[in-house]
Amino acid sequence: MNKDNKKSIIICSIITIILSTILLYEFFNLRKYDSPSIKYRVYLDGEKIGLIQSKTDLYSMINKEQTAIKNKYKVSSVYPPKGFEIIRVNTYNKENDEISKVYEKIKSSKEFTIKGYNVIIKSNDTKKAPIYINVLDKELFKEALERYVRTFIGEERYKQYLDESQPEIIDTGYIIENMYFQEKITIKEAYISVDEKIFTDSDELTKYLLFGDNNERKDYIAVQGDTVESVAYANKLSASELIIANDDIKSTEALLAIGQKINVALIAPKVTLIYEELVTQDSEQQYQTVIQEDNTQYTSYKAVKQKGENGINRITSRVQFINGAQNEGVTFVGDPIVIKPVVNEIVVKGTKKYYNPQPSEGGDVVDIRGSQVDNGSTWGWPTNTPYVITSPYGYRWGTLHDGIDISGTGYGSPIYASLDGVVVQAQWGGMVGNSAGINVVLRHDNGYYTVYAHLSKFYVSKDQHVSRGERIGAMGHTGNAFGTHLHFGVFTGPPYNGGRSFNPLRLWQ
């Protein structure tokens, strides 16, 4: 390579370096005057809807423009919708979206939110979906819960329970020992969309907790002769449910005025209030009829030698109530105290048979001996004593409870036939349904049928003849039963096959 070529290469390299230096200088000099700025990218449900300079201005516009929401809910601030997100970014983009245009996009897409609280009511039953309630103030929900409790147990009793000032049980009476809600209830702060139901009044929320979504009144106008129990039964309610739905009716003995408006809407509680009572009460013990045979009197002879009188036992038990309805099982505390001893009825029956000789077709004498059939017109009580009727005959939660629940004699205690009859069935379910568990159904000569349900076992078989007072099974809690008890039902005609139920207590009236 000659000197001229080397010189040219050196000059070119120098020029390249100078030009590169100038370009770099210009580049960095330009960047000095074009640095990135801080802005805010706005998203709604993951979609970009704008780039703004100030997020504070957007929040201010939302709060300023949404006066109707603030007035309706009496709040001081309104917030962006659910799904709103705003992210700080560094960008060289010089252009901004107008705050008002971004606001209009949000307004036209979704409803705004306000601060409040989500209440979640979760059942222990995993098959039941949680219940969600929105309130502005958690104290409002607590107040509604307290009103809910007072509806079932009364203002005074609730105050006495809280103050630990319940009156002591002297002879008879009851006290609440424990109280709680069965569901798990959680409350957490949240932004609530104004298109959701938001409770702002404790009275409205209490009605929702009691009646559910169907919280409209259903009025019945009282007429002459109406009672609390008759109005309740006619509208498929229990008396206690009717009292719960009407603040002005305090007890089943309350007198109804002609023309009085009575709410007969069916309650459908959203929460389950459980409270446990220690109860001391006097329980009537039914007398039994004892038959004494007299061979000097004919079979048509029947006389009462000693009139029966029911006794009274004082019993103490622990009883659980679920939303005001007594649980089917009870636990006795200690032994019963006899206040008045029972006096059994003694009936003398003749056993001497008539002799009626009659001529036969061939002229011979035939010995025809007849006897009067004892149709067992006196019904026997189906359990041992002492006992408690934990649930009467009548409507519960809109469904007819077509018998009485008798409890207290203990798991495996004997169940007796109330009248002579024939075993229609002794099995699980059958004609009375699986909810009855192990049961026995008897058919009696007078056209009545008796049902003995929730047994732990049975001792009879189909088509077997049984006598009044014969042990046919043992008390249990099979099928749809909450606690050990006997469901005893009486029907005119076959149960659930054309027969009609009536109150079994009428048998002893």
CATH of the domain at 310: 2.70.70.10
Q: Is the dihedral of CA 482, 487, 493, 499 positive or negative?
A: negative
How do residues 88-119 score in pLDDT, each as one tens digit?
999 888 888 999 999 999 999 999 999 999 99
Residues 380 and 426 in one domain: yes
> Are 435 and 428 a contacting pair, CB within 8 Å?
no
pLDDT at 497 over 80: yes
Residues 203 and 238 in one domain: yes
Query: What separation, in Å, do the N-terminal and C-terminal C-alpha atoms of the chain show?
Result: 138
> Are 136 and 204 a contacting pair, CB within 8 Å?
no
- 22 within some domain: yes
Residues 23 and 9 in one domain: yes
What is residue 28's predicted lDDT score, i.e. its pLDDT? 52
Residues 432 and 354 in one domain: yes
Residues 420 and 463 in one domain: yes
Q: How far apart are CA 391 and CA 387, in angstroms?
A: 12
- 286 within some domain: yes
pLDDT at 6 over 90: no
Q: What is the mean pLDDT of residues 489-500?
A: 92
Residues 132 and 90 in one domain: no
What is residue 494's predicted lDDT score, i.e. its pLDDT? 93
The domain tally of the chain equals: 4
> Are 231 and 196 a contacting pair, CB within 8 Å?
no
What is residue 19's predicted lDDT score, i.e. its pLDDT? 66
pLDDT at 15 over 80: no
Q: Which residue has the tokens 């929105």?
A: 134
- 357 within some domain: yes
- 250 within some domain: yes
Phi, psi angles (nearest 5°) of residue 423: -75, 115
pLDDT band at 367 (very low <50, low <70, confident <90, very high): very low
Read off the tokens for 128: 């039941």
> Are 311 and 343 a contacting pair, CB within 8 Å?
yes
- 115 within some domain: no
Q: 406: closest CA among 489, 472, 478?
A: 489
* Domain-ending residue, one of 65, 80, 110: 110
pLDDT band at 165 (very low <50, low <70, confident <90, very high): very high
What is residue 301's predicted lDDT score, i.e. its pLDDT? 80
> Are 502 and 450 a contacting pair, CB within 8 Å?
no
Eight-class DSSP state of 213? T
Provide the β-strand partners of residue 452.
Answer: 440, 488
Q: How far apart are CA 219 and CA 261, in angstroms?
A: 6
Residues of the chain above pLDDT 70, percent = 88
Residues 424 and 296 in one domain: yes
Q: How far apart are CA 182 and CA 279, in angstroms?
A: 22
* Domain-ending residue, one of 110, 141, 158: 110
Instruction: Report which of residues 358 and 403 the model is more confident about.
Output: 403
How do residues 379-405 score in pLDDT, each as one tens digit?
888 998 888 888 889 887 778 889 999
- 82 within some domain: yes
- 116 within some domain: no
pTM: 0.71
Task: Please tell me which of 178-182, 442-446, 495-499 the model is most confident about, judged by mean pLDDT.
Answer: 178-182
Instruction: Report which of residues 375 and 155 the model is more confident about.
Output: 155
Count the neighbouring beta carbons within 10 Å of the beta carbon of residue 466: 19
What is residue 1's predicted lDDT score, i.e. its pLDDT? 54
How do residues 247-298 score in pLDDT, each as one tens digit?
888 888 889 999 999 988 888 899 999 999 999 999 888 788 888 888 888 7
Which structural domain range is residue 169 located in? 121-263
Concatenate the DSSP letters of all residues of 232-254 into one string.
HHHTT--HHHHHHH-TT--STTP
Residues 103 and 204 in one domain: no
Residues 291 and 227 in one domain: no
> Are 154 and 244 a contacting pair, CB within 8 Å?
no
Residues 236 and 316 in one domain: no
What is residue 139's predicted lDDT score, i.e. its pLDDT? 93
Residues 485 and 444 in one domain: yes
How confident is the prediction for the chain on average, in pLDDT?
A: 86
What are the b/e assignments for 410-440, b being 16+ CB within 10 Å?
eeebebbbbbbbebbbbeeebbbeeebbbbb
How do residues 31-61 score in pLDDT, each as one tens digit?
444 678 899 999 999 999 999 999 999 999 9
> Are 442 and 417 a contacting pair, CB within 8 Å?
yes
* Domain-ending residue, one of 263, 285, 318: 263
Residues 27 and 42 in one domain: no
- 144 within some domain: yes
